[in-house]
Amino acid sequence: MSGSDTFRAEVRQWLEANCPPSMRMPVKTDQDMVWGGSRITFHSADQRLWFERMRDRGWLVPGWPKAYGGGGLEPRELRILEKEMRALGCRQPQYNLGIWMLGPVLLEFGTEPQKLEHLVPMARGEVRWCQGFSEPSAGSDLASLRTAAVRDGEDFVITGQKIWTSHGDKADWMYALVRTDPQAKKQQGISFILLDMKTPGIIVRPLGLISGKSEFCEVFFDAVRVPARHVIGGVNQGWRVAKKLLEHERAAMSTLSSGAAPSFDMLTIAKSYLDAAGPVWRDRVAAALMDQQAFSLTMRRLQELMLAREDASGVSSIMKLVQTEQESAKHELLQQLMGQRALSLDSEGFTPEELAVCRFWLYTKSYTIAGGSSEIQLNIIARHVLGLPT
């Protein structure tokens, strides 16, 4: 038996023994997801058990070094763990922007004290992070951001506004982009800074959404004092940290259909409608399912490629573009197949599943905007992958 086979057998045995059966079901609603942080909420005893067992093993972040609270797994072992979890249908024990996006850039750009201060509690699911990048006039053109950070002794004093901050009202800390040199070329005057959401002067206002539920907030900074030691990667060096973080965000968004977000087993729902709908619909559903399968196989190959490459911005953009467009098209197809049964957000006379299909049909449209819109991904692919002139 090779080392990999022994490790695979151990992992399988541990998961079988420790992942409660109810944590092996697909994620269907928000309540199936556990968001880490100081206000962590468990909706069942099994959710808590699964979270605690994975946390105690360091497997909330299995690939991080043990010194920062991770599981210390090698990339090869990490792939085995992911594969075994997928095979058993294990849910993610915790959801947290910190783990998907901030953690990897802290590992790359953070100083030792910054890593110890932030990665260890993140690895234990104790801090919930939000992302303060977009501003009212800086979305796709992120480098135009205007939120100002002015040095004053050991601190920066931050004044300005962020928008579309997902779960800003529930987060403990924010990682943000701020302008520290208004005279420099726009990408060169930006710093990447971490701030405690309890700091005086931060005002968070929730925003409404078409799908009835909202995760969005506006965040205002009124002379917010943040220690300069919370700048990551150097003052005025924030753009390269941000670009790297966006690669991780796009890679994370490429896993939406593999249980990372609430979704629907298209075949199970479609079966109830296909007999009445006829052969053309059968073909359309089959084509969508084949696309989904092809993406998931390509994704596994690209993950290996990303592990080996320095600059993976083009790869993560391709994956994000295809996955989010596919998820949006899949829910559009389901919605068309179900007709008016999928056209209510909250009326009586509809099943919870029908209401959820409608909600997700609307919500998946946002996937093609979040983390950089599809048009922006096409621009990046044109420039970085195809080398087309700009």
Q: Which is nearer to ligand FAD, 53 or 331 (CB)?
A: 331
CB of 130 to ligand FAD, least distance (A): 6
Contact 118, 194 (CB under 8 A): yes
H helical segments located in 166-265: 238-253
User: What character string, x for contact with ligand FAD (CB under 6 A) and - otherwise, covers 91-130?
Assistant: ---------------------------------------x
CB of 163 to ligand FAD, least distance (A): 7
Q: Is 221 in the site for ligand FAD (CB under 6 A)?
A: no
The token pair that represents 196 in the structure block: 């405690």
Q: Which is nearer to ligand FAD, 180 or 324 (CB)?
A: 324
State whether residue 350 is helix, strand or coil: coil
CB of 60 to ligand FAD, least distance (A): 21
Residue reference for tokens 């100002």:
148
User: Which of 22, 44, 114, 379 is close enough to bind ligand FAD by CB under 6 A?
Assistant: 379
Question: Helix-strand-coil percent breakdown of the chain, rounded to 5?
Answer: 55, 15, 35
The token pair that represents 36 in the structure block: 């880490």
Q: Which is nearer to ligand FAD, 166 or 187 (CB)?
A: 166
State whether residue 251 is helix, strand or coil: helix
User: Which of 44, 187, 211, 366 is close enough to bind ligand FAD by CB under 6 A?
Assistant: 366
The token pair that represents 254 in the structure block: 């490429």
User: What character string, x for contact with ligand FAD (CB under 6 A) and - otherwise, covers 131-170?
Assistant: xxxx----xx-----------------------xxx----
What is the phi-psi region of residue 156: left when phi exceeds 0, alpha when psi lies from -120 to 50, beta otherwise? beta
Q: Which residue's beta carbon is nearest to the bound ligand FAD?
A: 139
The span of 279-287, 289-297, 323-331, 366-374 binding ligand FAD (CB under 6 A) equals 366-374
The token pair that represents 112 in the structure block: 């030792």
Exposure string for 248-282, b = 16+ CB within 10 A, e = fewer: bbbbbbbbbbbbbbbbbebeebbeebbeebeeebe
Taking the C-alpha atoms of residue 123 and residue 63, their distance in angstroms, rounded to an integer, is: 11
The type of residue at 233 is G
Taking the C-alpha atoms of residue 106 and residue 103, their distance in angstroms, rounded to an integer, is: 5
Q: Which is nearer to ligand FAD, 265 or 375 (CB)?
A: 375
Q: Which is nearer to ligand FAD, 80 or 380 (CB)?
A: 380
Q: Count residues binding ligand FAD (CB under 6 A).
A: 18
Q: Is 375 in the site for ligand FAD (CB under 6 A)?
A: yes
The token pair that represents 202 in the structure block: 């931060």
The span of 178-186, 239-247, 323-331, 362-370 binding ligand FAD (CB under 6 A) equals 362-370
Contact 230, 252 (CB under 8 A): no
Residue count (the chain): 390
- Closest alpha carbon to 130 in 178, 171, 94, 158: 171
CB of 237 to ligand FAD, least distance (A): 19
Q: Which is nearer to ligand FAD, 166 or 344 (CB)?
A: 166
The span of 3-11, 40-48, 283-291, 365-373 binding ligand FAD (CB under 6 A) equals 365-373
Contact 192, 155 (CB under 8 A): no
State whether residue 345 is helix, strand or coil: coil
- Closest alpha carbon to 70 in 115, 35, 119: 119
Q: Which is nearer to ligand FAD, 7 or 133 (CB)?
A: 133
User: Which of 63, 103, 121, 372 is close enough to bind ligand FAD by CB under 6 A?
Assistant: 372
CB of 390 to ligand FAD, least distance (A): 10
User: What character string, x for contact with ligand FAD (CB under 6 A) and - otherwise, covers 304-343?
Assistant: ----------------------------------------
CB of 177 to ligand FAD, least distance (A): 8
Give the strand pairing for 173-179 and 129-132. Answer: parallel
Q: Which is nearer to ligand FAD, 44 or 373 (CB)?
A: 373
Q: What residues make contact with ligand FAD under the rule CB under 6 A?
A: 130-134, 139-140, 164-166, 366, 369-370, 372-373, 375-376, 379
